[in-house]
Amino acid sequence: MAAWYSICWSPRNFNNPNSFIELDGCPRFYLSEDGAVPCKCKFESDYPNLYVKEIFKTQIFVQNEAGEDMPTHYRHGMFVPGQNLAYDSWLEKSFGINQHILDKVKAREELYQKKVFLEYSNKIIRHDMHSGINTYLPRGMSMLKKRLTPEIIKELKLSGAMTMLERGLAHTQMVYQGVYAFTNLVKEDARLDTELVNLHTALDHYLKHTAYYAQVELVSLPVVVVNQSLFCTAVDNFIRNGLKYNDSTPKKVKVYYEDGLFTVEDNGIGMTQVEFEELSLPFKRKHDINDGGSGLGLNIALAILKEHNCTVKVLDSSSGTKIAICGLVEGELHD
């Protein structure tokens, strides 16, 4: 398979003017028809006053004014547009590369660097935080409960503190599971890990750790094939929005499954399909509401459901909002 290679040259003798004459005319790129790395000697024999410092497979291409892909010496994490103006000018002069294209390449490089940061963050979350959250803290809690008898807890008035620690640990572990599942989606060629899940049981367990558990009614939910942590996160986003943007007393959200539609229905201020699509954009929030939110909840929820090959639509409702999730694959759990 053909591949482009970038060639880095250097004069053998900087005091020899012939070196710079050859440098102006030597090839800077080479198209290998079979994809094999070309030999340095192949080029140096034609340019005796130069030597090849390095040959590497081209990493970043730009387009000339005709829209054709052109190889460059830019490399991810090493050398990008704007760092060497002389090289940028040489590219523009030699290949008709305009600054707009260079800016696009630089933006891609910044995106690549952010991906590197994200991958490193994933490593910390998946490995370094795992031990603390799922091993050391649970063992510490278990040791405390063995040593602190009911009499000691009562005497020292530690009942509330122990309850807070247990609930806090359970909540942290639940959040960690969701973040862990998210990190899987960041990796290249990521595949969503799914299993048969009883949604009624899963959502009830998830919501028990929230302050609004009593405001949510779960009705006859099926067993489906989903990623439990991510799906519960998506549904929870719809539930929280239904309670947050709600002027009713009491505020209520009903979650049910009917005619193949998984539906989250609230008695709030209501939302149309057009409004839903607009507010689902990243960092988009209602103009007249300042609640300190990030504006990412709906967007994240839709991204999760898209990974499940599901679609979301807002159903007509005389009051409140009815959000329906379509495309869930039902299954059956066996003992």
In a domain, residue 227? The reply is: yes
Do residues 168 and 269 share a domain?
no
Do residues 67 and 103 share a domain?
yes
Grouping H, G, I as helix, E, B as strand and the rest as coil, residue 280 is: coil
In a domain, residue 207? The reply is: yes
Q: Please say which residue of 73, 107, 141 terminates a domain.
A: 107
Q: Please say which residue of 90, 107, 124 terminates a domain.
A: 107
Grouping H, G, I as helix, E, B as strand and the rest as coil, residue 266 is: strand
Q: Please say which residue of 91, 107, 123 terminates a domain.
A: 107
Do residues 314 and 212 share a domain?
yes
Task: Please give the pLDDT value at position 131.
Answer: 87
Cβ within 8 Å of residue 98, ≥6 positions away: 65, 92
- Rounded to whole angstroms, the Cα distance separating 282 from 35 reads 41
Mean pLDDT of 130-147: 91
Do residues 269 and 173 share a domain?
no
Domain of 118 in residue numbering reads as 112-186
Number of domains in the chain: 3
In a domain, residue 335? The reply is: no
Task: Please write the tens of the pLDDT for every residue from 4-50.
Answer: 999 999 999 999 999 999 998 899 999 998 888 888 888 898 899 99
More reliable by pLDDT, 128 or 250: 250
Neighbours of 307 (CB within 10 A): 20
Do residues 257 and 148 share a domain?
no
Share of the chain above pLDDT 70, in %: 94
CATH of the domain at 211: 3.30.565.10
Do residues 148 and 35 share a domain?
no
How many residues does the structure list for the chain? 335
Read off the DSSP letter of residue 209: T
Neighbours of 251 (CB within 10 A): 18
Do residues 217 and 279 share a domain?
yes
CB 59 within 8 A of CB 76: yes
Neighbours of 272 (CB within 10 A): 12
Do residues 121 and 175 share a domain?
yes
Do residues 118 and 102 share a domain?
no
Task: Please give the pLDDT value at position 58.
Answer: 93
Cβ within 8 Å of residue 35, ≥6 positions away: 1, 2, 3
Q: How far is CA 84 from the centre of its chain?
A: 32
Task: Please give the pLDDT value at position 126.
Answer: 78
Cα–Cα nearest to 233, from 284, 296, 282: 296
In a domain, residue 291? The reply is: yes
Task: Please give the pLDDT value at position 290.
Answer: 55
C-alpha to C-alpha distances, 108 to 112, 159, 163, 180, nearest whole angstrom: 6, 54, 49, 26
C-alpha to C-alpha distances, 37 to 27, 40, 47, 267, nearest whole angstrom: 15, 9, 19, 66
In a domain, residue 331? The reply is: no
Task: Please write the tens of the pLDDT for every residue from 240-295.
Answer: 999 998 999 999 999 999 988 999 999 998 888 988 888 888 776 665 555 555 66
Do residues 320 and 213 share a domain?
yes
Do residues 221 and 157 share a domain?
no
Neighbours of 281 (CB within 10 A): 13
Task: Please give the pLDDT value at position 292.
Answer: 54
Pairing relationship of beta strands 311-315 and 3-11 according to DSSP bridges: unpaired
In a domain, residue 147? The reply is: yes
In a domain, residue 72? The reply is: yes
238: buried, middle or exposed (CB in 10 Å: 19+, 13-18, 0-12)? buried
Do residues 62 and 136 share a domain?
no
Grouping H, G, I as helix, E, B as strand and the rest as coil, residue 191 is: coil
In a domain, residue 332? The reply is: no
Task: Please give the pLDDT value at position 287.
Answer: 55
- Rounded to whole angstroms, the Cα distance separating 328 from 260 reads 8
